[in-house]
Amino acid sequence: MLLARSSSVGVITIVHRVRDAASNDVVDHRIAQLRPDDDLYQLFWKKGNGRWTAYYDDRGERVVGSLAECLEEISRDPFGCYWS
């Protein structure tokens, strides 16, 4: 299940909620952030060290777009940043 949480400054965090098969606990994995950039959003991904990092497309340009465009890029995930 995917959830979205927003902060008071407009940052949207996309959360993937799963049930752990071994313990049956519900676990939330924060997989992406959308940060306001004028009237659009800039897309970020969470590195293994826990830090949020700007997401760049295959041309080396940062991904900035509408909410729908950012969600589509997360779904496509050409670099394996969001879905392993």
Residue 64 φ then ψ, to 5°: -130, 130
Residue 50's pLDDT is what?
A: 93
Residue 84's pLDDT is what?
A: 66
Q: Tokens 């041309």 map to which residue?
A: 59
Reading the block at residue 35, the tokens are 């940060």
Mean pLDDT of the chain: 94
Which is higher by pLDDT, 16 or 84? 16
The mean pLDDT of 9-31, rounded to a whole number, is 94
Rounded Cα distance between 25 and 9, Å, is 31
The mean pLDDT of 10-15, rounded to a whole number, is 96
